[in-house]
Structure 1
Amino acid sequence: MNDYITIAIPKGRILEESVELFKKIGIDCEELLSKSRKLIFENEAQKMRYMIVRATDVPTYVEYGAADLGIVGKDTLMEQEKDVYEPLDLKFGYCRMMVAEPAGLAKDDDPSRWTNIRIATKYPHVAEKYFAAKGVQIELIKLYGSIELAPLVGLSERIVDLVSTGETLKQNGLVEVETIAEITTRLIVNRASLKTKNSRITEIIQGLEKLV
């Protein structure tokens, strides 16, 4: 099995876009879109193996070599800071990582005067790093569900979260205050695999590079 290339991919929109991209460079993984409950798919003819994993687990599988390649959002990479090689921005799944707060608070608020604030987020590491660079002390509350709820019930005044259209924020009376980063989907590679399977991995990277 050592001659196989293993790719870790999360479910959902990233999976659909990835299958489409791979198809364009001659890699057939349509089976991943089937309703099967399988977690590992193999294409013996092309010596490819695909693992369906949680988005937050992709960098771990790649860092430890259980997968040679992975496809994951930049937000996950920023939060985890795993030791992986990140050769390519795949240019899909665009959104922004934002600081947001209730519209009523934003009217008279001046972010440049923040000194000590409470933030609810799924991205504590990113938030801490961002505000530390600005010299702002923060109290962090880590949540796993709908972050927009936190200001509505007084859990925190502000949130750090991903925003795509901004519609969810708007419906919950929140407004964007600052942009931390622009987020897209990335291709990541295990550092050892890049040496041991260099020609095949380089061929995939170069193929995708021409498309994006």
Structure 2
Amino acid sequence: MSSFLTIAMPKGRIFEEAAELMRKAGYPIPEEFDESRKLILDIEEARMRFILAKPMDVVTYVEHGVADVGIAGKDVMMEEDRDVYEVLDLKISECHLAVAGLANVTFRDVAPKVATKYPNVAASYFREQGEQVEIIKLNGSIELAPLIGLADRIVDIVSTGQTLKENGLIELERIADITSRLIVNPVSYRVKDQIIDELVQRLSNVIE
């Protein structure tokens, strides 16, 4: 399978949008792949193998070379300092990182607490603002933290803002705009440069 180009992709929305982008670029991605529960998908005629993973794991697979290329959100790239090349902004899965909290509730004076899936990004952001905060790492349901008194603020991905609204939270500060990026393992880029360059060029031609 070494002659295959192995691509790591997150499951869910990013996979669906990336698969559609690759179809537009002329790659024969079967429609049924969007509904598949398999974690490894091979496309013999395209000489491609897809590994479906959690977003944070994609960069790990690419860095360690079990995947030649990957598709990862810029939020993951900001949080994870990994030895990979970021070669193309795919301009899909647009959202942004933001600070949010309950309306009309101010930071406590001493060591305000911030809950997030992105402790490195959050710590860096508040340090740049000159604010000393205590970061609490959570893996899911970040919006719950202010509601139960665990944290004063949260740092999380915001897409439509509906989840914040439904939980009585408001966006307070915008940290960064996020899209999905094509990343490459440095060794793979040397060994499989032609097929990777072709992939980058074909995707570039169809990105709006």
Q: TM-score range by the shorter chain?
A: over 0.9
Residue in 2 that maps onto 1:149: 144
Q: Which runs of 5+ in 1 are unaligned?
A: none
Residue in 2 that maps onto 1:84: 84
- Distance, in Å, in 2 between the alignment partners of 1:34 and 1:183 is 25
1:45 to partner: Cα distance: 2.3
Question: Does residue 1:176 correspond to 2:171, yes or no?
Answer: yes
Q: Does the aligned pair in 1 maintain the 2:25–2:205 contact within 8 Å?
A: no
Question: Does residue 1:140 correspond to 2:135, yes or no?
Answer: yes
Q: Which runs of 5+ in 2 are unaligned?
A: none
> What is the root-mean-square deviation in Å for CA atoms of aligned residues?
1.6
- Distance, in Å, in 1 between the alignment partners of 2:170 and 2:140 is 19
1:34 to partner: Cα distance: 4.0
TM-score by length of 2: 0.93
Residue in 1 that maps onto 2:33: 32
- CA deviation map 1:131-163 (0-9, x unaligned): 112221110111112111111111111111111
Q: Secondary structure at the match of 1:77?
A: helix
Question: Does residue 1:163 correspond to 2:158, yes or no?
Answer: yes
Mean CA deviation greater in 163-172 or 25-34 = 25-34
- Distance, in Å, in 1 between the alignment partners of 2:90 and 2:137 is 29
Q: Secondary structure at the match of 1:104?
A: coil
Q: Does the aligned pair in 2 maintain the 1:115–1:135 contact within 8 Å?
A: no
- Distance, in Å, in 2 between the alignment partners of 1:44 and 1:95 is 34
Residue in 2 that maps onto 1:188: 183
AA aligned to 1:53 is: A
1:73 to partner: Cα distance: 1.0
AA aligned to 2:162 is: E
AA aligned to 2:121 is: V
Count of residue correspondences: 205
Structure 1 residue runs of 4 or more that deviate by more than 6 Å after TM superposition: none
- Distance, in Å, in 2 between the alignment partners of 1:34 and 1:145 is 24
